[in-house]
């Protein structure tokens, strides 16, 4: 039996074992957290909480049909959907581990029984250990997005290792296009998968660089972070924001129907990409051509979000943010209703509000978009770098004072901020 066939069979075996265990231990009905909401939204294709998971809902809707009309079994079959996704994840993890182990243990390309035992042993142990880890097993038996998100991450990392082996062959970069498509699809499941982008950038650098050094490694990582930011904000939010501005002009200034500007924006973007592909092909600009193909397939995957606007316009029972137009859809994507937690700069818990920064947004009226003033953020009398003790909640303030031994009315200091970060957030909270 060849190495590739044995590798495939063992991978499928690990995935099958994991899937059988997950199905045997799956939740029989609705589980905790967001599962109830997701099950309801998937069954009727409704609009879940922001920023949505349309592809997850579409796939889970397929599993709900396996209940054959028995509403008491809908939650069970959707939980089975997570079990199946998790089992497939284990298969791809096995193949990822064996690919890395083969690269480490079989450098001289000389096959031996002991080497193969080490490679496949590493794959089996790693895949099975991950299968029955607490967090993964927990997510594998309930209808949550994390099982399917893990599958997307497993597939893209497996794919970049397939590319790494074939990088010198003609057409090998089709694996990068495939990765881009899966990345685009994963946006419709959970944004966590995008964190694989810097790791993928590192693999590309190590494979293509003539000489690997610390400076190049840092540059490759930063490029990966920039690509991550470009997808997270540029594609997911800014493209929609630009389409919203175009639609505003078409509706309010030109008197055209709602959505006309979106249609025009899609045609314009599609035309630019097609022209760019034609130009790069004729001029033999290979890197530009590949980059445009990657962008194109990310957008193909991201298009699952059209379901959100389609179902939002149908006004289902669960219709978070009512995203029936481009402005409410943009607010849905950017999660405007959530509290913005300060990351690098913000107030102390006892800071006082001294002002409000507002911005103009638009809501859909009968025949045009109507402007309204929306609170963007609050101004405080004192702020600090990297705020950790910022909550204005009374119970939180009392806990801050108790934990840091601060008296009533005693102002917190910059050192108190970091003391809480190191002692509580990096220490006690993990215990």
Which residue carries 């025009």 as its tokens? 264
Domain finish residue from 138, 164, 190? 164
Instruction: For residue 314, tell me if it sits in a domain.
Output: no
Nearest of 301, 338, 316, 335 to residue 52 by alpha carbon: 335
318, pLDDT greater than 80: yes
Partners of 380 in the β-ladder: 353
Average pLDDT taken over every residue of the chain? 93
Does a structural domain hold residue 59?
yes
Residue 365 lies in a domain: yes
Supply the pLDDT for residue 343.
83
How far, in Å, CA of 39 to CA of 16, rounded? 25
Q: Is 69 inside any structural domain? A: yes
> What is the three-state SS of 283-336?
CCCHHHHHHHHHHHHHHHHHHHHHHHHHHHHCCCCCECCCCCCHHHHHHHHCCC
CA distances (Å), 32 to each of 87, 167, 240, in order?
A: 21, 44, 33
pLDDT tens digits, one per residue of 366-422: 899 999 988 778 889 888 888 999 988 888 988 998 888 988 878 888 888 888 988
Residue 171: pLDDT above 60?
yes
Supply the pLDDT for residue 430: 55
Query: Distance (Å, rounded) from C-alpha 344 to C-alpha 387?
Result: 7
Mean pLDDT confidence for 352-367: 89
Contact assessment for residue 404 and residue 412, using Cβ atoms and an 8 Å cutoff: yes
Domain boundary among 164, 192, 215: 164
pLDDT for 114-128, tens place per residue? Answer: 888 999 999 999 999
Decide: helix, strand or coil at residue 379: strand
Answer yes or no: are the C-beta atoms of 364 and 244 closer than 8 Å.
no
Confidence (pLDDT) at 312: 94
The DSSP element (H or E) to which 361 belongs, if any, is strand 353-364
- What pLDDT is attached to residue 376? 78
End residue of a domain, out of 110, 129, 164: 164
Using only C-alpha atoms, what is the Rg of the chain?
Answer: 25
The pLDDT tens digits of the residues spanning 254-311 come to: 999 999 999 999 999 999 999 999 999 999 999 999 999 999 999 999 999 999 999 9
Cβ neighbour number for residue 93 with a 10 Å cutoff: 28
Q: Count of domains in the chain?
A: 2
Give domain status of residue 249, yes or no.
no
pLDDT at 146: 96
pLDDT tens for each residue of 224-241 = 999 999 999 999 999 999
Does residue 2 carry a pLDDT above 90? no
Q: Model's pTM, two decimal places?
A: 0.90
* pLDDT level of residue 113 (50, 70, 90 thresholds): confident
- Work out the average pLDDT over 17-32: 95
- pLDDT attached to residue 76: 97
Host domain of residue 14:
3-164
In a domain, 189, yes or no: no
- The torsion angles phi and psi of 62, rounded to 5 degrees, stand at -65, -45
Residue 108 has a pLDDT of 62
Residue at 242 is within a domain: no
State the CB neighbour count (10 A cutoff) for residue 119. Answer: 25
* pLDDT value of residue 262: 95
- Predicted pLDDT at 377: 83
Cα–Cα distance between 236 and 326 in angstroms, integer? 13
Concatenated DSSP letters of 230-250:
IIIIIIIIIHHHHHHHHHHII
pLDDT at 254: 93
Whether the per-residue pLDDT at 107 is higher than 70: the answer is no
Q: How far apart are CA 266 and CA 277, in angstroms?
A: 16
Q: Say how far apart CA 305 and CA 317 lie, in whole Å.
A: 19
Q: What is the pLDDT of residue 192?
A: 92
- Assess whether pLDDT exceeds 90 at residue 358: no
Q: Which band of pLDDT confidence, cut at 50, 70 and 90, is reported for residue 66?
A: very high
Q: At 140, list the tokens.
A: 């594998």
In-domain check, residue 64: yes
């Amino acid at each position: 039996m060849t190495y590739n066939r044995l590798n495939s069979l063992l991978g499928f075996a690990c995935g099958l074992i994991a899937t059988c265990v997950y199905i045997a231990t799956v939740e029989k009905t609705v589980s905790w957290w967001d599962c109830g909401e997701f099950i309801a939204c998937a069954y009727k294709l409704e609009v879940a909480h922001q920023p949505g998971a349309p592809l997850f809902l579409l796939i889970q809707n397929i599993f709900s049909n396996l209940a054959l009309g028995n509403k008491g079994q809908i939650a069970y079959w959707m939980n089975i959907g997570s079990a199946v996704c998790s089992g497939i994840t284990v298969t791809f993890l096995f193949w990822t581990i064996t690919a890395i182990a083969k690269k480490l243990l079989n450098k001289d390309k000389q096959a031996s029984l002991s080497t193969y035992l080490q490679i496949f042993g590493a794959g089996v142990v790693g895949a099975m250990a991950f299968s029955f880890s607490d967090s993964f097993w927990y997510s594998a038996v309930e209808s949550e997005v994390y099982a399917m998100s893990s599958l997307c991450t497993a597939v893209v990392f497996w794919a970049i290792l397939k590319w790494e082996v074939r990088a010198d062959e003609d057409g090998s970069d089709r694996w990068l296009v495939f990765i881009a498509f899966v990345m685009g699809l994963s946006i419709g499941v959970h944004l966590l998968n995008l964190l694989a982008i810097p790791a993928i950038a590192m693999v590309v650098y190590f494979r293509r660089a003539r000489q690997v050094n610390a400076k190049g490694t840092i540059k490759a990582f930063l490029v990966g972070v920039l690509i991550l930011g470009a997808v997270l904000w540029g594609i997911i939010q800014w493209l929609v924001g630009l389409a919203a501005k175009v639609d505003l002009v078409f509706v309010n200034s030109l008197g055209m129907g709602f959505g006309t500007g979106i249609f025009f924006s899609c045609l314009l973007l599609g035309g630019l990409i097609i022209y760019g592909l034609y130009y790069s092909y004729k001029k033999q600009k290979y890197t530009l051509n590949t980059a445009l193909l990657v962008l194109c397939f990310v957008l193909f995957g991201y298009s699952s979000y059209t379901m959100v606007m389609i179902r939002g316009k149908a006004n289902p029972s669960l219709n978070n943010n009512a995203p029936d137009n481009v402005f409410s859809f943009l607010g849905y994507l950017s999660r405007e209703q959530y509290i913005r937690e300060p990351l690098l700069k913000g107030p102390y818990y006892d800071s006082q509000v001294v002002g409000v920064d507002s911005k103009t947004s638009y809501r859909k009226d009968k025949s045009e978009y109507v402007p309204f003033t929306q609170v963007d953020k609050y101004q405080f009398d004192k702020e600090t770098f990297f705020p950790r003790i910022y909550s204005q909640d009374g119970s939180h303030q009392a806990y801050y004072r108790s934990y840091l031994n601060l008296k009533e009315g005693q102002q917190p200091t910059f050192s108190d901020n970091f003391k809480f970060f190191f002692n509580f957030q990096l220490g006690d909270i993990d215990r």
